[in-house]
Every structure is written in C-alpha cells, then in structure tokens.
Chains A and B, each alone.
Chain A
C-alpha cells in the first residue's frame, strides 16, 4: 500500500506493515520531552502510575527553558522539581542553566533527534523536529507521564496535506515567511489533526534552520505534525551529530493526500502576522505605518544561527531606534558562543540591543520583555494571541529576523530593503 512519510514512520513505530489515516495505533517513542512548565505536572502524574523509574533514562529529556534562569520563587520551585527528578532517575539528558537552550533549538543541535524518529514532547512546538524528517508532535503533561513510564503512546494516524512550493525564494524571504504565508492561506485550523508535508523546489533549497522554523509553526495551523522529506541537506546536518541511528523515509509517489496546495513563491515577500492570530498575514510592503515599542529576535521558531546572522546583516551600520527596545535571545549556549565568535553579539550590543541567555521568556509572556497596556512588539516568535506577551491590551506582530532587525532600526514595521 502506498504511504506518506508520516504514515511510514508511524507504521514502523507501531510494528505494522502499513497504517492508514484514522487508525488508532500504539507506537514506541524514541524520545519523550518535557520543560519546566509541563514536566512538573507530568512528574506528579508519573508518580501516581506506580512504576519505579522511567522506561529509559537516555530517552526521557528534561529541559528547563521557559522561566529559567528562574524568574521568581514559584518558577524556581518548578525548575527544582525537574532537577530533583533528573537526579533521582539518573537522566542522561537534563540540561542545566548555562548548558541549556530553548528545547527545540537544543535537541536537533545536540543530535538527540533525527530523521525517522517518533518524538513526543509536552510542548506544542515539539513538531519542530519534522524539519529533520521525523514524526514529532506536542502532547500534554499526562500523555508525557504515560510515555515516561511506558516508552509508548497512542496516536491517531493523521490524514496528510501536501504543500508544494515552486520557484526560488527571493532575498530576505525565509522559512518563516513560507509558513506564515501558508497559515495565512489555510487558517489557524486549516490543517487541524493533520500532517503537513512540505515539498517542492523552494523546500529542497531551504537550509535546515529554515526547515525547522517551518515545521515549528505547523501547530499554528492546527496540525498534528509538519514534516520535510529528508535529503542531502538533512544528511549533512545529522552526520557527525546524531547520537542514535536514523532512517530516511520518503513518501511514495502514489501516496494519498487529503489535499494538495501548490504555491509559486518566486515573488513572495516577507510576511507579517497582525494581531491576534498567526493567520492574519500581509506582505511587509502592505503593513502600513505600524509604530512599535519592542522587537524580539529569538525563540524556538527563529533563535538559530542563520536567524541571528540574517538580523546582523540588516543591522550592520545602523543603530536601534531611540523608541525601540531590541531584545536578542540566542536559542542555545552553542549558538550564543558561535554568535560571539562571529562578532555578531558585539554588533548587536554596539547597535543598542539587549542580548540574553537562552530562554523562552518573552515569547509566552513569561518574563524578559513583557509589554505594558497599549504597547506593540514585533517578534520572530510564533504566536500573537491576545495577551501573549503581556498586558491583554498589548499587541504582538510576527515576522522573520530580517524584518525584525529593519523595524528595530526604523521604529516601525519595515522591510529589510528600506535600510539597505
């Protein structure tokens, strides 16, 4: 039976010859992930199950990243729960402040996730690893607790939607713009419960950082997973990095899709999502005169090396506008160090930006850049819901790192070519 890449990975982990959409399957997971918000709930539920320890100490991963370095006493207590659980169960992959990163930047970088894997994580952006050709999806804390005990979970095999992106991407247009444009076309529930398979010449030419960004925001269209078929770019990324064997799966030519979308992206502009949904997208040239107060460059969506380089390129020779607070958050310690070695951190600081240790912080309105009533932030993050970054009467606009940098210079939403 012809299958999509998603169906093949699910079948392999269900020990089945084939699976089809709608079928409920019990699958082995390769890795189960939690963070400092979701893992405390999972740990409490895990302790109710009545097993002595986790199913595999190498495959239960805990990353405190949302409210660390601890933002307040309660957050410190949550982070402490992770630390103590990691010690008690001798977990190999617990990442302490100073050695950590934003989970979805960190795991691919450290080679903990690879092509053909099946990953679940108690964080909705776990779908990021689809960029590597893995099946990965977000779950809640109780599902994580069960997987920590069993090494298994149940899933409904999703229907697949195929997206074909034709043409070469223009300058300043990135994976972020492709996914924002796509969500703008299909809506925030346009792929509800489904797999989004990203293909076509524009994807084949897209860097791994760009692919991870695209898969990251699949959940913003309601999808169960986003996935990019692995290729030479994938191979170059995982070689020498992967800590476990990996498998390249690809969709059969006659695999079945619920829908196929074809987009010509050769003339696509950078996209901006207006409040208060990621589907409210416009080309940057049609943004109008939107003055802003804060710009955030970072997050599991756009906190990778390519993102920082792109922002630095735009910022070169410019200063951050007097009316703007620019906050730059490298996604991991390795990215931070690399950015220092390339002189990018110095450049950000000299331009007038604040550069932070890795944290999810402002993206979810945790800390490190909360907005007051009436304030507007442009951010390379993933959600612009009401109150997402602070006061319920503040606003968040989403964009790519180049647009963010140009806007930080001009004090309003601006295109990168306006500062060249």
Chain B
C-alpha cells in the first residue's frame, strides 16, 4: 500500500495541545477529535485535509501530553502518515500502538515544502517528492515495532501473545 497525497508542513516542537487541544478531550470519539485536529496550529487543517495527505514537520513532533487522542485525531482526519525529523517519545509509542504510520527522515522534512505532492512506500521506507522529483529514505523502524504493526497494533499483538 502506497500513501499518496499533499504535504502539510509544520514547524518544530508541535505539541499535543496544538494537535488536539484539551478543550476537546471530554470525548475520545475519533470522528469528533478529527474535527479539531491541528486546530491551534492551523484552524483550516481539519476541514481541508484529504485522505492520504501527509503531515511533514521538523524536530520533536508530538511533544507534551501523553494523550493518545493526538495520534487518534490525526489518523481519523485521514492523514496517511507523518514525516518528521524526530518525535517526542510518548507520541512515537502511541502512533505505533494505534497503527498510525510515522517516519523519521530529516532530509524529507527539509526537502518537502508545503503543498508538495508526496508518495510514501511504507514497506521500503521510501519517500518520493513528486513535485520536486526528489527521493528520501526514512530511518528503518526497529524490528520489534514492525511486529506490533504487523499484528495490527499493540492490543492485537498482546491478544495473540496471550493465546499462545
């Protein structure tokens, strides 16, 4: 499965309050959270983002709170994957646990501009910038995390383990 969409560019240290403000955390309904995704960073994002679009950001994406509502909101908004220079550690775990694809690639984060057309091959970790004719490599995902993804997320991974 290849991800294909438009790049939405954000800066460094995008925090979880920017991804989903706490004023909306009185629910955990993904569709409801998606309506307010990235609201305090870009109020138009939630209404304009299309299925398969890609968030591209600088360092330390998802810093702050442990709220899993943040990757849930992004996934439910239809975002195909995130590409950033680095991630805050709780966000990184949460994204894998709920099955939101995220890639670490400083070159892609620098090379891709807002609005560029991007395609991503998750299996190969290959990111193509169709607007600029460039290619970037993502840092390989640790093997253990790949097992979690292959199982369909942490809960399915744990369920399988308990059945054995």
Contact = CB atoms under 8 A, between A and B. Distances in A.
B26 A124 contact: no
A14 B90 CA distance: 21
A48 B40 contact: no
A287 interface: no
A71 B66 contact: no
Contacts of B40: 386-387, 392
Interface stretch (A38-46, A329-337, A373-381): A38-46
A138 B18 contact: no
B158 A72 contact: no
B98 A142 contact: yes
B68 A192 contact: no
Interface residues on A, range: 35 or more
Contact of A189 (B18, B28, B41, B86): B86
Contact of A188 (B22, B63, B98): B63
**Taking chain A's interface residues, is the majority helix, strand, or loop, or is none over half, making it mixed?**
loop
A222 B21 contact: no
A403 B41 CA distance: 30
A41 B69 contact: yes
Count chain A CB atoms within 10 A of each CB in B25, B40, B60, B142 and give the residue with the most.
B25
Contact of A146 (B41, B86, B144, B154): B154
Contact of B17 (A141, A224, A365): A365
A222 B18 CA distance: 17
B60 A188 contact: yes
Nearest to B94: A140
B86 A192 contact: yes
Contacts of B52: none
Nearest to A382: B64
Interface of A: 24, 37-38, 40-41, 44-45, 48-51, 66-67, 71-72, 74-75, 78, 122-124, 126, 138-143, 145-146, 149-150, 154, 188-189, 192-193, 219, 222, 224, 277, 364-366, 370, 383, 385-388, 392
Pick the 4 closest A-B CB pairs, nearest first. Answer: A140-B94, A74-B26, A142-B97, A140-B68
Given A40-B28, A149-B158, A383-B15, 11 more contacts: A37-B69, A38-B66, A44-B28, A48-B159, A49-B155, A50-B159, A66-B22, A78-B27, A126-B66, A140-B71, A192-B60
19 contacts: A37-B22, A37-B67, A38-B67, A41-B69, A41-B72, A48-B155, A66-B25, A71-B26, A78-B28, A138-B90, A140-B68, A140-B90, A142-B94, A142-B97, A150-B158, A188-B63, A224-B89, A364-B22, A388-B17
